[in-house]
């Protein structure tokens, strides 16, 4: 019955329309290699831009942008691998294997860097200051106050000379702590405070050693503890200052420049060589 009606212009039900065949053929056809390469390069660049933005701003929008671009980069790499099934050029296949390794390394490095954002691991020097130096200086200041309390409890005007160095030390430690907080959280252009230098802290230790000789025997163990804390702070501060002066203070930024950018450059070089052949 349907075949009898085909004469009135309507196609038979079991006959496929030529337009439908064309659409299905287009959908099944593999993407043009040039298009794949362009998408791959765009995804690579977008992942760099998104991650760089996340490093600079810690904004969730950039984080989302980076994650989407990273997923697209992996998808584009997989599409290129599928396209390679018909390749007969050995060099291209070797480059493909290298591209796959580079993509995996790049994405792993990007994830590691993104994982630092908002954590103490991003600034190892600041972490050292906050977890070791600052608590040590706070403890030293408290011990200095305890020494003063003991010495003042049974003091006379004749004891002023022995008390004065510890009163000065208490104030110096407070100034030192505040200047170090400002230095580690602000611009490093001015350099570390002079009082926190090795020479400055060595002068402080010499003054404490001289003052210890005139201090009561009951507080000398506390003074020894005070000396130990300041010496430890001096050693740790040298590491903090070295990190602050170098590129590794912001380790996320350092890793982006020294690991991400070179890997992305290697990927782009492979893509560029393929584009020249395409």
Domain 124-249 class in CATH? mainly alpha
Q: Do domains 31-120+253-277 and 124-249 have the same CATH topology?
A: yes
Q: Report, as an integer, the average pLDDT of 74-93.
A: 95
Are 260 and 47 within 8 A, CB to CB? Answer: no
Per-residue pLDDT at 67 exceeds 60: yes
How many percent of the chain have pLDDT more than 90?
Answer: 81
pLDDT recorded at residue 219: 94
CATH match for 31-120+253-277 among 3.30.360.10, 1.20.120.1730, 1.10.3720.10, 3.30.1950.10: 1.20.120.1730
- Residue spans per domain, the chain: 31-120+253-277, 124-249
pLDDT recorded at residue 11: 46
pLDDT in tens, 146-157: 999 999 998 788
Q: Lowest mean pLDDT: which of 46-50, 178-182, 228-232?
A: 178-182
pLDDT recorded at residue 4: 41
pLDDT recorded at residue 273: 94
Which own/partner pairs from 196-203 qualify as long-range (CB within 8 Å, at least 24 positions apart)? 196/237, 196/241, 198/234, 198/238, 201/230, 201/233, 201/234, 201/237, 202/234
Q: For residue 107, give Cα distances in angstroms to 8, 236, 270.
A: 61, 34, 17
> Of 105, 48, 40, 49, which Cα lies nearest the Cα of 73?
40
- Rounded to whole angstroms, how far apart are CA atoms 256 and 180? 28
């Amino acid at each position: 019955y349907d075949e009898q009606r085909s004469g009135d212009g309507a196609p038979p039900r079991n006959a496929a329309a030529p337009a439908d065949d064309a659409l299905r053929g287009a959908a099944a056809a593999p993407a043009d290699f040039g298009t794949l390469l362009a998408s791959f390069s765009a995804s690579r660049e977008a992942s760099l831009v998104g991650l760089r933005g996340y490093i600079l701003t810690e904004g969730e929008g950039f984080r989302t942008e980076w994650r989407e671009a990273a997923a697209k980069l992996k998808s584009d790499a997989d599409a290129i691998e599928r396209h390679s099934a018909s390749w007969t050029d050995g060099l291209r296949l070797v480059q493909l294997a290298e591209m796959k390794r580079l993509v995996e390394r790049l994405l792993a490095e990007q994830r590691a860097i993104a994982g630092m954002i908002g954590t103490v691991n991003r600034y190892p020097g600041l972490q050292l200051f906050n977890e070791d130096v600052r608590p040590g200086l706070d403890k030293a200041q408290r011990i200095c106050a305890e020494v003063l309390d003991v010495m003042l409890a049974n003091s006379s005007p004749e004891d002023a000379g022995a008390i004065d160095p510890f009163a000065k030390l208490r104030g110096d430690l407070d100034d030192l702590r505040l200047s170090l907080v400002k230095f580690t959280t602000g611009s490093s252009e001015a350099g570390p405070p002079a009082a926190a230098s090795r020479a400055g802290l060595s002068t402080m230790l010499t003054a404490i050693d001289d003052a210890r000789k005139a201090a009561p025997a009951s507080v000398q163990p506390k003074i020894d503890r005070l000396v130990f804390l300041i010496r430890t702070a001096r050693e740790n501060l040298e590491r903090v200052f070295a990190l602050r002066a170098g590129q590794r203070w912001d380790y996320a930024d350092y890793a982006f420049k020294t690991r991400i950018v070179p890997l992305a450059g290697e990927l782009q070089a492979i893509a560029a060589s393929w584009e020249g052949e395409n």
